Amino acid sequence: MTDCVFPAREINQFRADLLRWFAAHQRALPWRETRDPYRIWVSEIMLQQTRVAAVIPYYQRFLERFPDFHALTRAPEPELLAHWAGLGYYYRARNLQQAARRMAERGSFPSTYEEIRALPGVGDYTAAAVASIAYDLPHAAIDGNVLRVLSRVLDERSNIASGVGRRRFSALAQEMLDTNQPGAFNQAMMELGATICLPKNPQCLLCPVAKLCRARASGTENELPVKAARVATVSERRTVFWIEKEDKLLLWQRPPGERLMPGFWELPEALHLPDAAPGVKLGSFRHGITFHSYFFEVWEARAPKDIGACHWVALSRLASIPASTILKKAQRHAQRARAAVSGQASFR
Ligand code: SF4
């Protein structure tokens, strides 16, 4: 149990008011016409990074071509991706097919939260949504809409961007969940957030739970949810080498399987070229990645004999290869330094 501000009577009232409103006012969406876990799962994967209105035609076409996991298992990849084209984030389509192959091996769609959660491309939210909507399993599905509704209804000020805050909201959502109708309740919470309890200017006059809402009572609805920016906690100095030869630049490429920016090209550092001889400093800049704050220095250097795993890449190709932000920032400094040198030369 959490220290939820709602006593049991108010929780019951909230569930009843919300579900009554959802039954009367929910949008007609194609994935709401089925309890087929396969179809619900496909809709949830499509909705992960795409708006409802954009998903509808793709969802219908996809299911006409791949009506069950057997059909999806057999799909040639080009055809699968063609049916996904326009939705973007193609790894979602590949994950769908990998998951479908697992279903084919076991002979059925998984039927517990844990089994659904173990599918490729399925996180806590998607597992809870599919488990509750398809099987009425009592798992609260928590997306951005639900976090907003909960924070406002309960006037809960925990930071939704922090691990502690997320755990707090997870416990509160589970306590508020109507375990008799978890699928309808989860969808109703998301629907309220998507259509009434909007990020800006929530439509409180139309809200079915307004009389219970703590934020509405205290006038704090526009301050919630609290999402405090993460602060950089680690600071590090790094040196990258700008090594040019015959209109080529020495770079290394992140391996395709790497978690961070796979396939992107980077400037080498001392760990890549221990024998590089730095010459002139071309510039410096700051760069932040999640909790890290970096201070980069860009040094022109001479190429060592052994270039290790680095490659010479034509400067004319820099705009067309996947280049990291650090490489792009360093390039600007190198160009500026070159321009300054040639400008000085012209005044001599
Ligand atoms: S009353 Fe307003 S702030 Fe409260 S849940 Fe409803 S729409 Fe959101």
pLDDT digits (tens, 9 = 90+) for 266-313: 999 998 998 888 898 998 998 887 667 889 999 999 988 899 999 999
The confidence band for 234, taking pLDDT boundaries of 50, 70 and 90, is low
Ligand 1: centre distance to CA 32 (Å):
24
Query: By alpha-carbon position, which residue is closest to atom 8 of ligand 1?
Result: 197
Does 174 score more than 60 pLDDT? Answer: yes
Query: By alpha-carbon position, which residue is closest to atom 1 of ligand 1?
Result: 210
pLDDT tens for 38-59 read 999 999 999 998 999 999 999 9
Percent of the chain with pLDDT over 90: 75
Distance of CA 286 to the CA centre of its chain: 25
Contact partners, residue 316, CB within 8 Å, separation at least 6: 247
Rounded to two decimals, the pTM is 0.69
- Position 348 scores a pLDDT of 33
Does 191 score more than 60 pLDDT? Answer: yes
The confidence band for 229, taking pLDDT boundaries of 50, 70 and 90, is confident
Distance CA 255, CA 90 (A): 19
- Position 322 scores a pLDDT of 87
Cβ atoms of 141 and 102 closer than 8 Å: no
Does 259 score more than 80 pLDDT? Answer: no
Ligand 1: centre distance to CA 208 (Å):
8
Mutation to probe ligand 1, out of 22, 196, 201 (largest number of atoms < 8 A from CB): 196
The confidence band for 22, taking pLDDT boundaries of 50, 70 and 90, is very high
Domain with CATH 3.90.79.10 in the chain: 234-347
Ligand 1: centre distance to CA 41 (Å):
29
- Position 262 scores a pLDDT of 82
The residue from 10, 33, 44, 223 that is catalytic is 44
Mean pLDDT of 134-149: 98
Does 171 score more than 70 pLDDT? Answer: yes
Ligand 1: centre distance to CA 152 (Å):
6
Distance CA 297, CA 287 (A): 11
Pick the CATH number of 234-347 from 3.30.2270.10, 3.40.50.1450, 1.10.290.10, 3.90.79.10: 3.90.79.10
Task: Please name the helix (run of DSSP H) or strand (run of DSSP E) that holds residue 79, with its range, or none.
Answer: helix 77-84
Burial 255-289 (b: 16+ CB within 10 A, else e): eeeeeeeeebbbbbeeebbeebeeeeebbeeeeee
Task: Please name the helix (run of DSSP H) or strand (run of DSSP E) that holds residue 242, with its range, or none.
Answer: strand 234-242
- Position 185 scores a pLDDT of 98
Does 104 score more than 50 pLDDT? Answer: yes
- Our answer on whether the CB atom of 214 is closer than 6 Å to any ligand 1 atom is no
Domain with CATH 1.10.340.30 in the chain: 8-143+167-196
Evaluate whether the domain defined by 8-143+167-196 bears CATH number 1.10.340.30: yes
The confidence band for 205, taking pLDDT boundaries of 50, 70 and 90, is very high
- Our answer on whether the CB atom of 224 is closer than 6 Å to any ligand 1 atom is no
Distance CA 17, CA 22 (A): 9
